[in-house]
Structure 1
């Protein structure tokens, strides 16, 4: 048996064992925030500049920079993103492996694998993972969303997000090499939502506390113009504002 076949066998065996037993080792779900921390505000304008500029990554290191926010219910988030061609990925690594193996068995294109790493914001892992696959395993648009304990007068939540484009795989630590240009991914996400019946407005908001360049928890560089994409959602039956 050659080394390549042996390596593939080891990876496949590891994937199968993780799919079968991994949930006992890595039980994964986003912890709900305490109800008493929920705050209702007439507008999120004053709150946005106070939100964290970065999340937390591997080994507690400073992670990725903020580049998007959503205002909407979970149903509106899911409806808008699914219609825009985004696929929701499992938070659980074993679940993502199981879904990937199922797609392989059905001879389907891999869209729900590989899993996305877990990051934390205010001590909580992300609530949602979303991706658009370009090249299975290697290249994809993707972002994570955290539901925050803040609602507006329409009972819509504020969501904190980070997105970037995966260029390739760095195998030695099982991470993806991201495109350092965060603006490009932010604007791609906006482009997929422009004209959506779920979208009330799209805005680009400058946030002075966001670092314009740096490195994330894995040492990958990034740069941006300091603006976040603010996506305000609505129900499809409601009218939209003019989009930027």
Structure 2
């Protein structure tokens, strides 16, 4: 039985310690249980272990690369650039992946009244519950003066950064993804404050699994987290640039309730007092949060939906319908970077003697000798980089083994170069640049979104070929 585009069987866990197997949510607050399959993913469970090895290996490479950058930071014009690079690698690559590995060990994998960040840390507390279908939520929030947030894309991410720096209004600015029931939020609504994208009210919504009950046995259909962005700062745990939330999340909860009840008399609210123990804690960004533990249940079943209202729909992985099966940006970025890197390296090999090389007689993009004959360089380029181009092509179209082989080749190449540099060989600036591109490639290929896309292809019997 499906409800709002969902089924009782959810997608596989994205935790790196778990096998690629679908799960079924249990009853009230219980943990999800693996579904045993004789075919489909059952034939590919060994891939999960290989995925985990690469996931961990790439994390180690990122820390080593950060060390190499720090070793090269001398008092020169490149000091600031290298330190910024060190921060970027640690904040956006190394530390998030380390959290992803560690949180699979110490963060509970069952409902505890809190969302999780995409790297596994505890996110924002859940302080709202809803009864009603998705169209009624959209209708109610729109009438109450809330604006649906844009999905997180490269374009929307750049726009919110520019808007925050220049203090330009961006009413539909995206919110960061948080995870509940192993799904990112289905959608989010927000209210910008005085045209400043750095300050806003926002609410994330997650559909509950079919048949799922709150601890205590209450049936609801949606859980939500309402918080207020008070400004922009650095994450306490990863040092990433992020929005900081106001400490008193109950004030934001009450603001949401006030706006929806004032906008439509058909909305009713029942308060579950002391649903959780009142507490002071921190969210996934390290911001202090405080709540009294009450959980309001907002009943929207009597809300009339306007004729012709758009039904966004919710997929089985909690995303808006129409996005399921789309190639994730991580796959696109990895393939584009791999192709660009291979083509530039081939050009440097072939035309290196015509001014591409640096003053030390080495290739500015790597360590290619200046005296290498053009015909030999051509064959080296063909034998080395054409397979990478082919693997990138197959990976782009869903090749499971092509992606894994590509990860292995790039990771082994990185590891060998890093070991050489750690032994005392000093890398050129071009070599560090080349390593950074390779690191971005394997990070994108081993990301959770890339793994989910591959997993979906396995479930549907697609993309299993090399």
Shorter-normalised TM range: 0.5 to 0.7
* Equivalent residue number for residue 124 of structure 2: 64
- Give the match for residue 133 of structure 2: 73
Structure 1: any 5+ residue segments left out of the alignment? Answer: 1-31, 38-45, 239-244
SS at the partner of 2:229? Answer: strand
Tell me the secondary structure at the aligned position of residue 116 of structure 1.
coil
Structure number with the higher strand fraction is 1
Whether 1:88 aligns to 2:135 is no
User: Following superposition of structure 1 onto structure 2, how do residues 203-218 of structure 1 map, counting pairs within 5 Å?
Assistant: 203-209=270-276, 212-218=279-285
Higher helix fraction: Structure 1 or Structure 2?
A: 2
Residue 237 and residue 63 in structure 1: after superposition, are their counterparts in 2 closer, same or farther (change >3 A)?
A: closer
Q: 1:75 to 1:175 in 2, by over 3 A?
A: same
Contact 2:8 2:210 (C-alpha < 8 Å) held by counterparts: no
Report the counterpart of residue 245 of structure 2 in structure 1. Answer: 178
1:130 match: 189
Q: Aligned partners of 1:95, 1:234: CA distance in 2, in Å?
A: 36
Change (3 A) 1:58 1:151: closer
Match of 1:148 among 189, 199, 208: 208
RMSD: 3.2
1:227 is aligned to 294
Structure 2: 5+ residue runs without aligned partners? 11-26, 31-109, 213-218, 306-466
Among residues 227, 232, 246, which one is paired with 1:164 in the alignment? 227
Could you say which structure has the greater relative contact order, defined with CA pairs below 8 angstroms and 6 or more residues apart?
Answer: 1
Shift of 1:138: 1.1
Which whole-Å deviations, capped at 9, do the CAs of 1:118-149 have from their partners, x for residues lacking one?
A: 11002100001110000422110001010112
Please give the secondary structure, in 1, of the residue aligned with 2:197. coil
Q: Which residue in 1 is equivalent to 2:360?
A: none
Q: 1:185/1:33 Cα in 2 relative to 1: closer, same or farther (>3 Å)?
A: same
Matched residue SS, 2:136? helix
Distance 2:136 2:301 in 1: 7
Distance in 1 between the 2:259 and 2:151 partners?
23
Matched, 1:188 2:255: yes
